């Protein structure tokens, strides 16, 4: 779907021209699998290309349509009586792409990357070195950099890189960024699975999300064999260019080097315990 869109229209964005996506929509009851998967794909592409878009539709019902009085519109943002949002989680999800990730509104900000999760409309962020990586509002995301040659994802301005720690375990940040666990490559036709290899046996794992805690974990990569009954949504991530202001967390970004990290954490703990 993405390849077709890029061939027919998306190529203009590569040439610096604006691109507008009009009248897209999904069944907001959340019961249509095809619509749900389309939305995952669309939100990822919209974030990556920083598209302007228009949602269809606002109307929750029609006075008269197809000969039916009061026909309900399940694609509508409002419910049948126009009093409440039909699906508040959907509105929260698309709110991330309502503001541009880049553009003239972001003057003075330096370009960086965010790791965006289309299924939730959230980004990977971390408040401190003692807490696991989690999904949260993209306004709270750290600024990442992605080295396309070394395949490393690094917190910008630090030595800390994203690492796979094991199957079904939380992903972590580390300072030894040369081994296979620190290399992340977009795979599959979608290029939205971020895959790494474990140090123990070289097995491939993909970034995933624990649905009960929103913690970022690494699991077996799923839906790589074109099984149309498989839903890859939880493992789809996009590395997105951004000039939005990033949330700088003092306890985390205070470490400019490995030695600062060791001194402030290891030695500090020893002094406290003494």
At residue 271, the pLDDT reads 38
Comma-separated ranges of CATH 2.80.10.50 domains in the chain: 109-248
Contact 74, 30 (CB under 8 A): no
At residue 126, the pLDDT reads 86
Tokens of 86: 């039909």
Distance of CA 204 to the CA centre of its chain: 20
Per-residue pLDDT of the chain (274 residues; tens, 9 = 90+): 788 888 888 888 888 888 899 888 999 999 999 999 999 999 999 999 999 999 999 999 999 999 999 999 999 999 999 999 999 999 999 999 999 998 765 556 688 999 999 999 999 998 777 789 999 999 889 999 999 999 999 999 999 999 999 999 999 999 999 999 999 999 998 999 999 999 999 999 999 999 999 999 999 999 998 888 999 999 999 999 999 877 554 344 444 444 454 455 444 434 344 4
Contact 238, 116 (CB under 8 A): yes
Tokens of 181: 């666990």
Cα-trace Rg, the chain: 21
Please state, as a whole number, how many other Cβ atoms lie within 10 Å of the Cβ of residue 106: 16
Is the pTM above the cut of 0.75? yes
> Tell me, which fold does domain 109-248 have in CATH?
Trefoil (Acidic Fibroblast Growth Factor, subunit A) (2.80.10)
99 closest CA partner among 248, 236, 242: 242
Sign of CA dihedral 7, 10, 12, 16: negative
In three-state form (DSSP H/G/I as H, E/B as E, the rest C), the secondary structure along the chain is CHHHHHHHHHHHHHCCCCCEEEEECCCCCCCCHHHHHHHHHHHHHHHHHCCEEEECCCCCEEEEECCEEEEECCCCCECCCCCCECCHHHHHHHHCCCCCCCCHHHCCCCCEEEEEECCCCEEEECCCCCCCCEEECHHHCCCEEEECCCCEEEECCCCCEEECCCCCEECEEECCCCCHHHCCEEECCCCCEEEEECCCCCCEEEEEECCCCCEEEEECCCCCCCCCCCCCHHHECEEEEECCCCCCCHHHHCCCCHHHHHHHHHHHHHHHHC
What's the Cα-to-Cα distance from 102 to each of 45, 106, 244, rounded to whole Å? 14, 6, 7
């Amino acid at each position: 779907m993405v390849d077709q869109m890029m061939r027919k229209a998306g190529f203009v964005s590569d040439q610096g021209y604006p691109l507008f996506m009009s009248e897209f929509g999904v069944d907001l009851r959340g019961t249509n699998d095809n619509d749900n998967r389309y939305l995952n794909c669309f939100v990822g592409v919209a974030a990556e290309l920083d598209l302007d878009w228009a949602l269809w539709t606002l109307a929750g019902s029609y006075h008269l349509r197809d000969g039916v009085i009061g026909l309900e519109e399940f694609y509508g943002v409002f419910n049948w009586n126009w009093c409440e949002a039909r699906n508040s989680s959907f509105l929260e999800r698309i709110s991330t792409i309502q503001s541009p990730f880049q553009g003239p509104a972001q003057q003075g900000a330096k370009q960086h990357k965010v790791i965006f999760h289309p299924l939730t409309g959230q980004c990977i962020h971390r408040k401190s070195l003692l807490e696991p990586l989690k999904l949260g509002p993209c306004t709270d995301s750290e600024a990442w950099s992605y080295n396309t040659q070394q395949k490393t994802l690094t917190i910008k301005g630090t030595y800390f890189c994203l690492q796979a720690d094991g199957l079904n375990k939380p992903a972590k940040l580390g300072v030894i960024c040369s081994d296979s666990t620190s290399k992340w490559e977009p795979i599959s036709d979608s290029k939205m699975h971020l895959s790494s290899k474990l140090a123990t046996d070289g097995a491939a794992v993909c970034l995933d999300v624990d649905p009960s805690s929103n913690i970022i974990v690494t699991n077996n990569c799923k839906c790589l064999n074109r099984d149309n009954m498989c839903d890859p949504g939880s493992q789809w991530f996009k590395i997105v260019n951004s000039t939005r202001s990033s949330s700088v967390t003092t306890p985390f970004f205070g470490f400019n080097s490995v030695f600062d990290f060791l001194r402030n954490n290891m030695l500090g703990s020893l002094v406290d315990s003494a």
